Amino acid sequence: MVIMIRDDYNIERFEIDLSMDEILDNYINFEKTEKLCRKCRCHSNNWTCPPFDSNQIIVWENYDNIKLILLKFNFTNKARQKQFDESEIMEYAFNLHHGEKTLIEPELKKLEKQLNGYYLTCGPCVNCKTCQRLTNGKCIMPEKRKYAMEALGANVIKLSKDFFHLDLQWIKNNTLPEYIIMMVSVLY
Ligand code: SF4
């Protein structure tokens, strides 16, 4: 169901509640995702990205259930015809994810409270303009920082495919694909 229309895309929303037992063994593997994280510019540069300053990955085991929320951004034909250069498209994708993440976070905070849970988001923490990790400092808001599911070992590709029947699409040749997704969750 389309829940929102923006200039370049519309948004569909999908949601499912699962028991943690259903995902722990087959969908959470920190060693595997950490290897992929190493290719990202945020690895070692943000306190919500590996390697961590404390054992964050045990968080999965502290909860019995998970609410997965997947947003699918379907680009318009006009947006898909736009030719970006490499830095422009990276900036576009970052701004899209960051903007949409900011919009969904109040709901996640509410759910976290209602369910006495803990929410996971997507992408690195942007609470500070520059993460203190880049200046070799300690995190200045550890109670406010939130982790991306994939940073803690979630296989978002497999979760999308198995529970929402969606194959992920990627930006290629500096143009937008048919859609991209964003997955967030609340552990409870
Ligand atoms: S709160 Fe600031 S220092 Fe802590 S992880 Fe987020 S950006 Fe980095």
Confidence of residue 5 (pLDDT cuts 50, 70, 90): confident
Percent of the chain exceeding pLDDT 70 equals 100
Predicted local confidence at residue 70, as pLDDT: 98
For ligand 1, say whether the CB of 97 is within 6 Å of any of its atoms: no
pTM of this structure: 0.93
Q: What residue's CA is closest to ligand 1, atom 4?
A: 139
Site to probe by mutation for ligand 1, drawn from 44, 47, 52, 146 as the one with most ligand atoms within 8 Å of Cβ, is 47
Q: What residue's CA is closest to ligand 1, atom 5?
A: 47
The residues pairing with 2 across neighbouring beta strands, listed in sequence order, are 12
Cis omega before residue 51 (within 30°)?
yes
| CA dist., res. 175 & res. 97, Å (int) | 16
Confidence of residue 177 (pLDDT cuts 50, 70, 90): very high
Average pLDDT, the chain: 94
pLDDT in tens, 24-41: 999 999 988 989 899 888
Nearest-10 Cα torsion for 28, 116, 109, 32 = -10
Tokens of 93: 């994708």
In this structure, of 53-62, 83-92, 129-138, 139-148, the range with the lowest mean pLDDT score is: 53-62
Residue carrying the six token digits 């999308």 = 160
pLDDT above 90 (res 21):
yes
CB within 8 Å of 151: residues ≥ 6 apart: 33, 37, 48, 49, 50, 124
How far is ligand 1, taken at its centre, from the CA of residue 89, in Å?
A: 25
Domain ranges for the chain, please list them: 2-187
Confidence of residue 58 (pLDDT cuts 50, 70, 90): confident
Residue carrying the six token digits 């978002």 = 156
